[in-house]
Structure 1
Amino acid sequence: MYSVDFLFEPGDYDERFHALNAAIEAAAQATPGYLGVESWRSPDGRRRNVKYYWQSLEALRAFSDHPQHLQAKREYHTWYHGYHIVIAQVIKSYGDGAFAHFTPNEKDRLT
């Protein structure tokens, strides 16, 4: 399993941004191996983090090559003041089971 953190400082969003963002979300969800997404905002609101989870590196690559994702990468400067990507392999995920999460609960599995 892999996670991708898309950290960014938002700029001004227009109708084109919202349409492309919705298309990218739909493309991610339609990609085999997509597990889910979470988003967070810094306390001061200046930075945001959208974290995607993927079953495999191949699934992540398939999404990365999607035409609408490539278009957004070409035009990011229109809507963002900057970004940073972190791709990580998830070794284990677990919790107490109090709420559902799209990653597996592997509490009893050894690393």
Structure 2
Amino acid sequence: MYTSTFIFHSLEYDDEFHARNNEIAERARVIPGFLGEEEWTNEKTGLHSEVYYWDSLESLHQLIGMDAHREAKGRRERWIDSYRVVIAEVLSTYGQEGLGLEHAPAGAAITDADPSAQAG
């Protein structure tokens, strides 16, 4: 499994931002290999984070290559101040069910094993 995390300070959003953001999110959700998404705002720092989960890099690259995504990146300065993107490979996950990714495909490297309990 892979994640793409977009971390940023936001500026003012307008109607165009919301329309583009909704279009990108809707189109991402139907890409084969899309596993889920989360978003967070840290009220203390003002940082916002959006995390998308993917079963392969090929699926993630479909989002990156999407025309609406490229167009939004080209207009980023209107809505987004400083930002960082983190692409990561997830080696394992563990914990309780009910947080959204328990229906991921078998090859998504989601496990119930606590890595700290494994012998080193």
Q: Distance in 2 between matches of 1:81 and 1:71?
A: 17
Match for 2:112: what amino acid?
A: K
Q: Distance in 2 between matches of 1:45 and 1:83?
A: 13
* CA-atom RMSD in angstroms: 1.9
SS at match of 1:3: strand
Identity, % of aligned positions: 33
The aligned residue for residue 18 of structure 1 is 18
Unaligned regions of 5+ residues in structure 2, if any? 105-109
The aligned residue for residue 57 of structure 1 is 57
Instruction: Say if 2:41 is the partner of 1:36.
Output: no
The aligned residue for residue 111 of structure 2 is 106
SS at match of 2:59: helix
The answer to whether the 8 Å contact 2:93/2:113 transfers is no
Larger radius of gyration: 2
Match for 2:49: what amino acid?
A: N
Deviations 1:35-89 (A, max 9, x none): 1110111132511110110110000001110100011111111101111001000
